[in-house]
Amino acid sequence: MFTLARETPADWWEVEALYDLCFAPGREALSSYRLRDDVSPVDGLSLTARDPEGILGGAIRFWPVHVGRHDALLLGPVAVHPTRQGEGLGGLLIQHSLELARDQGWSRVMLVGDAPYYSRFGFEKLEGVEMPPPTNPERVLGYDLVPDAWEGITGQVTRWSKG
């Protein structure tokens, strides 16, 4: 049994250590990280999953971005500790956080990831949505939090700016 909770500032470095463990060195050089520079994760959507002993088993973060003139959420990273993989924890984090995003009034979510994995949650390849290079367009996926939220949405994904 895991407890999901909002990530707090006190969790930040522990979550970063989990991401370092789960992803290749140099992950910060990926184009999706440039979209996160000087932008805070969306409050209430970045979650941790801890076991009954309080040990971090997984984490997920969301970042606001623009796609053309439209707002969207960028999901990622999501990670599960290698010793806890295969227990459904990643799916639990994804599904719960998507519900929270809908409750917060967001319309659409995107990510760069493995289509066979994320399709089980309803993510589909986005046509005409351009991540900064180098990004494989086949891995740019979207999810509608409200019906047809991605309908007609195209353009460059850019870093969030208020106003």
Rounded to the nearest 5 degrees, what angle is found at the Cα of 5, between the Cα atoms of 36 and 15?
Answer: 45
At residue 112 the predicted structure's pLDDT band, cuts being 50, 70 and 90, is very high
Whether the pTM exceeds 0.85: the reply is yes
Q: Dump pLDDT digits (tens) for 60-93.
A: 999 999 999 999 999 989 999 999 999 999 999 9
Q: Dump pLDDT digits (tens) for 33-69.
A: 678 777 889 999 999 999 999 999 999 999 999 999 9
Contacts with 48 (C-beta within 8 Å, 6 or more apart), sequence order:
4, 5, 6, 7, 11, 15, 56, 58, 59
CATH class of 3-159: alpha beta
Q: Dump pLDDT digits (tens) for 5-26.
A: 999 999 999 999 999 899 876 6
**pLDDT on residue 29:** 54
Q: Dump pLDDT digits (tens) for 122-143.
A: 999 999 999 988 889 999 999 9
The three-state secondary structure class of 94 is helix
User: Quick check: 125 and 100 in contact, CB under 8 A?
Assistant: no
DSSP letter for 131, please: P
What Cα–Cα distance (Å) separates residue 153 from each residue in 48, 53, 86, 103, 157?
31, 44, 34, 21, 11
Q: Over 60: is that where the pLDDT of 163 sits?
A: no
**pLDDT on residue 37:** 77
**pLDDT on residue 133:** 85
Q: Over 80: is that where the pLDDT of 162 sits?
A: no
The three-state secondary structure class of 127 is coil
> Would you kindly state where each structural domain of the chain is located, as residue ranges?
3-159
**pLDDT on residue 30:** 62
